[in-house]
Structure formats: C-alpha cells, structure tokens
Structure 1
Amino acid sequence: MKKLKIEVSDFEHLSFHSKQILKFLLENYPSKDPEDAISAEDKSVFPLKWKVQISGAVFEWVVSEMGSVTLRLAEHPRYTRNPPPIFYASVGKYEPDQFLWEDPDGNAIDLSSESGKTLILDKVKLYLESQS
C-alpha cells in the first residue's frame, strides 16, 4: 500500500473521516460536563473540543475537520495554553484512493475500534504513570 500526498481536493474525505471519528469518540468518551456536551450531529464549526475524564484525570479532545484528533491535558496549571498531546492521530492517503487513520509515526491504525480504544487508554496510562 503506497502512501500518497494529501491534496486540497481531498478535503471532503478528511472532513468525512473527522465526522466519523467524532461520532466514535463522543460515544466512547462523552463530555464530563453535560452542559458543554456536543453531539455528533452538531453543526458547530471545527475544531470541536470537549473535556473528558479518563482514569480519574481530565483531558480534552480536539477534533479537526482536516483529519486529526488530539487528546491533551485539560486542567493543568503549567499548561493553560497549548497543552502537550497525550494521544494524536491523523488521516493519511493511500493507493488506491484510500484514507486511513495513522499514529504520529505514520503507521495505519484502526482508530474506531476496540484496538483504537486500547491505544488511547495505553497512552493515558503511560502519561499517568509518568506523573507518579
């Protein structure tokens, strides 16, 4: 499977995959604050952000319409702006006109499955262990 360069004409594909993963993330990681909750059908402007609680810590999901998702620290006194990512994935383009989620190293991942949830939880666990 040969990797291809993403072009401006691929925007609809990136947007589609962002909206699909948004549904998955909202189902599996709902907002910790019901008054700030968004829905997958929300017509809000991207990027969409919401806070979640995972393993006792508060994080923030950021979903971009350009095919990226980031889980980052949400409530940390040191990182009030641009907190470091705990988990990141983006969409890559492959022959023949196939779009797949990738980890930061460019490895294709099945983000919207149990294995994707495991990857996310492993990154959260690694972060939490580094803090103790």
Structure 2
Amino acid sequence: MAISFDKAFGVHPHAMLIRSQRAELLATNIANADTPGYKAKDIDFASALKAAKSNQQGGNSMVRTDAKHIAGGSRFVGSPEMFRTPNQADTGDGNSVDIQVERNLYVQNSLEYQASLQFMSSKISGLKKALGSQGA
C-alpha cells in the first residue's frame, strides 16, 4: 500500500512555506521601521494557501523544449505580497511600519509555524511507527 504524503500531511507543508515567506517579509518590515518612505508589506495567508492547495491538486507544468526532457513542475507559487493599510497617521516621512504591530504579527506567525511543524513531526513519527510494525 502506497503512502500519500499529500493526504498524510494535508496543508501543513504549504502553510509552513507561506509562513516562512511571511516571517521574512515581517522581519524586513521591522528592519525598515525607520526607513523614510518604506511601506509595510504582508502576505494574504488565506489566498496564498488557497493557491497552494489548488496547485497541489493541479500542479504546475513546465514547458519542454525537447521531447527527451523530463516533465517537471513545482507545487508552490510565490505568495502575493500586499501593502498593509496603516493603523496610524503618517508621521511625515511616509513610512507605514508600526513596530508593535509587526512584532506581534511576527510572534503570531512564528507560533503558527511551530504548530504546523509539531503536527508534521507527530505525523512522521506515526508513519515511522506504522512502517516499523509492518516489517515485524
């Protein structure tokens, strides 16, 4: 019986990739908190996950330029970056980063990443146990 990792892990691998990209974006926002004219960016997690799930089912196809090339493709499309609507009035330098909001979002994103990682770890542990008992 074949193991379907897509069914076993669900959306968690895709969620971890999106959360990783989001962490980089939030860290960039924090690093540019004092940069004049910098606009805070974020990722719409729900739409990025929806795109990743539809990609998982359909897959991306690569253009083959020769019949001897192996068909391939990726299963993940980059997340759409969006500018965040500022919560505070413009301070005069055009920067829209609210450092407290960015830090809170970074911590929340990190906790959600850790939750997916813990889920994946327990699933892998369960699969290893199941495979170990099959050989006995």
Larger strand share, 1 or 2: 1
Q: TM-score, normalised by structure 2?
A: 0.24
Tell which structure's C-alpha radius of gyration is larger.
Answer: 2
Larger helix share, 1 or 2: 2
Q: TM-score, normalised by structure 1?
A: 0.24
